[in-house]
Structure 1
């Protein structure tokens, strides 16, 4: 029997489970602020608490959205030189997020069970090689046509609307192919476009009735608190050690979801 239900009211929900989901949101948001990869923690736990994988994916995207918005505001001063790029990147970003969210809602639950291990593994590998990707981005000059860069951003947004974990790392790598700027400037663009992807996907999922609202609100409340406190205490945490721990967890979750999909 699931620890949480799809009931839209708090009555009948397991209070200890909701408290645990609040803590989960706090931890996931803090991880995102320090090292990235918070969804590799929050998504599997939502599934473990009884939320179906497809609904857990949608609920997780919506619940962690406030943390992404807070991060974007933290980078707003870094947009001075690169904000002109947003004018032509926002439309394909919105279109891609819509398409990705539509794909998710039209993916059969059983098929998504088979896709999840691959998605979790992809996000884990992106996190594992995040430092190398960032180093490569800083060493590149703009060298691909803008039109190709726009198309690649559309594909990133499709992935973001569909699953999302690790999309920021891919987005950063794409920007490095056709936009010149410092890492902070590219991170600012990534943060704001990530907010756009999450907002569009969230509205779509809400309209489709895919969200488990009460568990989602519990995670969201924790994410807001985690985003606030992590901004104050993140300097005390070694992001590399945290990232390695999340990679190990991601590999374990890949094995767990693979077993659940192929050997139910």
Structure 2
């Protein structure tokens, strides 16, 4: 049995992680340290966290139903590519040493954050969507984002939003809705892989999962109230904060 105080601690962490993931990504940097603080080994905490946050991603997608309307085909196609990347990332985590990749994670998140900051210029420089067909490069970026997101969830939303923002000419709220759908797809692959092959602590999942679902619904509503410029700024700040936390870990 988990002590009542630890239950409340994990529930709060799950709620906040769900909000942060719906807003920008980076909720892992809330819930993962919470699991470490309660004494879970790092790898166990990582796979448990990945499974526990799945409902939060579902809540984010449900909250963005309106923004996904009219672009479900685009979201479905990109989600399929993201899931292929997630399969590769899950295998990388489960079957290969990852010290080198861990050392690169802060730099990857920082790069994604700065790319999002420069998104308007990058989109004008490298082009974007013509009609309803995405640029081919977006599929490469989404595949790599899926690989990264399944390997280490922290900053996944920032990376995905930076990639989508560069190549999709659309309102940032609608692009963020697609980002939420991709994050759910990647998380789904991780849940299946880690449930079958990882050391998941289900008692922690039972606490964090419902809290992250509520947080995901709340976070998507908060994001919808923000202007595109404010939302971009929030995402960049979260992303750079995630990169700094990882670098100092």
* TM-score (structure 1 length as normaliser): 0.74
In structure 1, the residue matched to 2:109 is 123
Residue 232 (structure 1) shift? 6.2
Residue 205 (structure 1) shift? 0.5
> Per the alignment, do residues 130 and 57 of structure 1 end up closer, same or farther by CA in structure 2, a change over 3 Å counting?
farther
Alignment check: 8 A CA contact 1:92 1:154 kept: yes
Of the three residues 96, 117, 134, the one matched with 1:132 is: 117
2:153 aligned with 1:164: yes
In structure 2, the residue matched to 1:185 is 174
Gaps of 5+ in 2: none
Residue 19 (structure 1) shift? 2.1
In 2, the alpha carbon distance for the partners of 1:246 and 1:189 equals 18
> Per the alignment, do residues 246 and 103 of structure 1 end up closer, same or farther by CA in structure 2, a change over 3 Å counting?
closer
In 1, the alpha carbon distance for the partners of 2:79 and 2:237 equals 33
In structure 2, the residue matched to 1:155 is 144
In structure 2, the residue matched to 1:262 is none
Residue 119 (structure 1) shift? 2.3
In 1, the alpha carbon distance for the partners of 2:9 and 2:173 equals 34
Of the three residues 247, 251, 263, the one matched with 2:244 is: 251
Alignment check: 8 A CA contact 1:137 1:173 kept: no
Between the two proteins, the alignment pairs up a number of residues equal to 240
> Per the alignment, do residues 228 and 71 of structure 1 end up closer, same or farther by CA in structure 2, a change over 3 Å counting?
closer
Residue 199 (structure 1) shift? 0.8
Residue 60 (structure 1) shift? 1.3
- CA offset digits 1:183-231 (Å, max 9, x no partner): 2222222111211110111011001142111112222232233334556
- CA offset digits 1:172-191 (Å, max 9, x no partner): 23234443322222222211
In structure 2, the residue matched to 1:85 is 74
In structure 2, the residue matched to 1:211 is 200
CA RMSD in angstroms comes to 3.3
> Per the alignment, do residues 181 and 63 of structure 1 end up closer, same or farther by CA in structure 2, a change over 3 Å counting?
same
In structure 2, the residue matched to 1:96 is 85
Gaps of 5+ in 1: 1-10, 258-264
> Per the alignment, do residues 253 and 159 of structure 1 end up closer, same or farther by CA in structure 2, a change over 3 Å counting?
closer
Alignment check: 8 A CA contact 1:29 1:64 kept: yes
Alignment check: 8 A CA contact 1:130 1:169 kept: no
In 2, the alpha carbon distance for the partners of 1:249 and 1:151 equals 23
Alignment check: 8 A CA contact 1:97 1:159 kept: yes
- CA offset digits 1:59-102 (Å, max 9, x no partner): 11221221211111222222344333245323322221111111
SS of structure 2 residue aligned to 1:89: helix
* TM-score (structure 2 length as normaliser): 0.78
> Per the alignment, do residues 169 and 84 of structure 1 end up closer, same or farther by CA in structure 2, a change over 3 Å counting?
same
2:26 aligned with 1:33: no
